[in-house]
Structure 1
């Protein structure tokens, strides 16, 4: 599976941040957008994994062109086919379930934007990694796998032209990129010569509960906004309202909603998650601010028995 609960919280935060209505408005469109932006992460995964397939095809074409040259050299006629025959790349190219998913999700971007395949192909073939790999003509699965893992980690993932391209294609993808790259690297590292057909088609959600968590967190935060905002205002009276970052306000709304309405999530987990998200998405001082407010609220909830947590170790 690709999605962690933290990534789900970030997606909910982004959707709430963009929501301009009030809690009485119909927010089904926004909920749809939330689920769409999460599902779209899977398309990013497919797009990047298919880039490896396209690079292999590009290498094949390259050898073909050299062989058909009018003045083909000895090397052109008998090329080193190690990269083209890379076991892991072959597995990807021949994986039926993966190819079905690429077709079903209409992942044909590289046909239209072939120049990016060229950019990546050239970056690979001009690298020291490649030169080292091509010193021999034969390899086993392990060597092939190590090479592709390194290529993905050192050449594809940090490629700036690719990064700009993805940003142009879809704004939400940049936030998804670290998670998707990590997923691909994990799968490449774990792959074996004979993996199950579904190996390269991971689940997006861990289970149905995670998808429901996304919907519930979004809806419950919106539906309880007035009450939650009153609680925040009481705790931030010494703060100039205009100086509280909008993102912090949304994170506080979500954290308070989670503390009060999700009995199976431990208090510590909730607080830690929102502090980590604020470090990444808000101002340097946000986590101290958010921690201070939540700490006060939790103490009050406990004193007034307002925290209904169930299960082990939930405080």
Structure 2
């Protein structure tokens, strides 16, 4: 499921897009924001489905080899360990996977099957595949470890696949690392006794509401928060502050004031980490300093009111 850090990143991108385009249609941008988050689930499902598609290709090639006129003993009696992989078979038999693919018309790997071939070729050449086939132990644990490593070492880092996703949807560029981690966690949690069932995009209704509230309240109070920032940075002209830094500080202030259950320090730490990935090398220090000053003043003036113990 999507975590709050990635939600913050998606909101940041939408606020930045609105500012850069000088667009004031908040309703339209919020719809796009929610759509881009929904599409993360498509990416998640497509990546998991790749495991099944590669296995299908392996099975197809195996059957074709058996029909050769000069078929070898290896062709006639192939090693079926990969075809019999219990984890991949659970995914292939998953009703929730099948339903999601059908309802959302995700036929990518039928239309663009060259990427399945690329991954299978890379898998076949790997020591990971050879060692797996040579392993005489037949257990769910071995199958699960192989699938995890197959995804981690071959699918996740594949540059051609990343380029394909970028061409399909530009917002997926920033989603790929998060989705790869999400897939690996999903595979790690899969149990032998359980069917493979797709989880939810959001942890709960609070996380889903967090998207809209953070976006709307940041945009609606943008000018007010900009003045708060200016007051705490007297040696800086507003136009000297990096656009992303300004947006991240405004979003953090929005959390200070509007989200009573999120501790101040958690908010500050989250935006410092996002700044490290999306802004300048010095931004995290700048943002930390500004937010520290603002949080202390807002707490003193009772503009920040948190619920629960240890939330400051």
Normalising by structure 1, report the TM-score.
Answer: 0.94
Of residues 178, 200, 205 in structure 1, which corresponds to 2:197?
200
Aligned-pair distance for 1:85?
1.2
Q: CA distance change for structure 1 residues 136 and 266 in 2, over 3 Å: closer, same or farther? A: closer
Q: Which moved more, 1:154-163 or 1:234-243?
A: 234-243
Give secondary structure in 1 for the equivalent of 2:134.
Answer: coil
CA distance in 1, matches of 2:192, 2:261: 41
CA distance in 1, matches of 2:16, 2:127: 45
Q: Do the aligned residues in 1 keep the contact of 2:81 with 2:133 (CA within 8 Å)?
A: yes
The aligned residue for residue 13 of structure 1 is 12
Of residues 259, 263, 266 in structure 1, which corresponds to 2:260?
263
CA distance in 1, matches of 2:84, 2:302: 65
Could you give the per-residue CA deviations for residues 29-60 of structure 1, whole angstroms, max 9, x where no partner exists?
Answer: 00001111111110001110110110010001
> Is residue 237 from structure 1 mapped to residue 224 from structure 2 by the alignment?
no
CA distance in 2, matches of 1:135, 1:261: 58
> Is residue 114 from structure 1 mapped to residue 113 from structure 2 by the alignment?
yes
Q: Which moved more, 1:2-11 or 1:305-314?
A: 305-314
Structure 2 unmatched runs, 5+? none
Q: CA RMSD in A?
A: 1.8
The aligned residue for residue 282 of structure 2 is 285
CA distance in 1, matches of 2:289, 2:275: 13
CA distance in 2, matches of 1:138, 1:87: 13
Could you give the per-residue CA deviations for residues 95-150 of structure 1, whole angstroms, max 9, x where no partner exists?
Answer: 11211111111111011111100000011111001111112566221111111111
Aligned-pair distance for 1:151?
0.7
The aligned residue for residue 126 of structure 1 is 125
Q: Do the aligned residues in 1 keep the contact of 2:263 with 2:310 (CA within 8 Å)?
A: yes
> Is residue 140 from structure 1 mapped to residue 153 from structure 2 by the alignment?
no
What does residue range 88-237 of structure 1 map to in structure 2 within 5 Å? 88-136=87-135, 139-196=138-195, 199-237=196-234
The aligned residue for residue 246 of structure 1 is 243
Give secondary structure in 1 for the equivalent of 2:105.
Answer: coil
Could you give the per-residue CA deviations for residues 233-266 of structure 1, whole angstroms, max 9, x where no partner exists?
Answer: 2222312433321100110111111111222211
Aligned-pair distance for 1:194?
2.5
Give secondary structure in 1 for the equivalent of 2:280.
Answer: coil
Aligned residue pairs, count? 312
The aligned residue for residue 274 of structure 1 is 271
Could you give the per-residue CA deviations for residues 271-296 of structure 1, whole angstroms, max 9, x where no partner exists?
Answer: 11111111111111001111111111
Q: Do the aligned residues in 2 keep the contact of 1:82 with 1:138 (CA within 8 Å)?
A: no
Aligned-pair distance for 1:87?
1.1
CA distance in 2, matches of 1:247, 1:21: 11
Could you give the per-residue CA deviations for residues 193-219 of structure 1, whole angstroms, max 9, x where no partner exists?
Answer: 2213xx430111010111101100100
Aligned-pair distance for 1:69?
1.4
The aligned residue for residue 45 of structure 1 is 44
Structure 1 unmatched runs, 5+? none
CA distance in 1, matches of 2:268, 2:120: 44
Q: CA distance change for structure 1 residues 300 and 221 in 2, over 3 Å: closer, same or farther? A: same
CA distance in 2, matches of 1:53, 1:179: 21
